[in-house]
A and B are shown apart, each in its own frame.
Chain A
Amino acid sequence: GAVVSQHPSRVICKSGTSVKIECRSLDFQATTMFWYRQFPKQSLMLMATSNEGSKATYEQGVEKDKFLINHASLTLSTLTVTSAHPEDSSFYICSASYTGSGAGYTFGSGTRLTVV
């Protein structure tokens, strides 16, 4: 149980275009999802907390107009990187908290974004 499906796993886009990343909780309801970014050889950095039915909460230094988050249902959260630039190239991962045995976070498989 507690599976989060993330798509796409890999995307290459041209500079200036927008990219949408989806995360779905498959067997539980995720009222809260989290979006992280990981640059090479660095740790996961929390970008924003996504709450179903309300506006996302962004971490300091993360542009909310550039990284649009939508959490319209209890099983789906999306992150749209608008007007992507090469410096946005990174590994983006979503996660959701769950309860029960071994409670913690479960992560999506990640999306490797390359902006050329």
Chain B
Amino acid sequence: RKEVEQDPGPFNVPEGATVAFNCTYSNSASQSFFWYRQDCRKEPKLLMSVYSSGNEDGRFTAQLNRASQYISLLIRDSKLSDSATYLCVVNIGSGTYKYIFGTGIRLKVLA
């Protein structure tokens, strides 16, 4: 099993739709989780940290399910500008700075 797995998509959704992504991780000791956004040929940029209690930032909601070892990202009311690749990032164990990136989920929001 890969350390971090994502369904690469692509996900093509109409503008205004709600879309959800999951990302599974294999190391139960992982403590830090993030979602990054990467536009084509650009560097990844932090979208959200993922907290145990879940967190919301505008149209974006991130959640952590420790029992099933996955994190999720929900995007409501999709905009054309949301089209990008979304990467989940997980540290490989407790107290380590080493992070593993998922392969990324490609989202395309269609007009």
Q: What is the interface of chain A, defined by CB distance below 8 A to chain B?
A: 6, 32, 34, 36, 42-46, 49, 91, 93, 97, 102-110, 112
Contacts and interface: CB of A to CB of B under 8 A. Distances in A.
Contacts of A103: 49
A8 to B, nearest CB: 14
Interface size classification for chain B: 10 to 19
B99 A46 contact: yes
B75 interface: no
Interface in B1-46: 32, 34, 41-46
Contact of B42 (A44, A49, A110): A110
A46 B44 contact: no
B101 interface: yes
Interface in B80-108: 87, 89, 97-104
A44 B97 CA distance: 16
Contact of A102 (B42, B44, B46, B101): B46
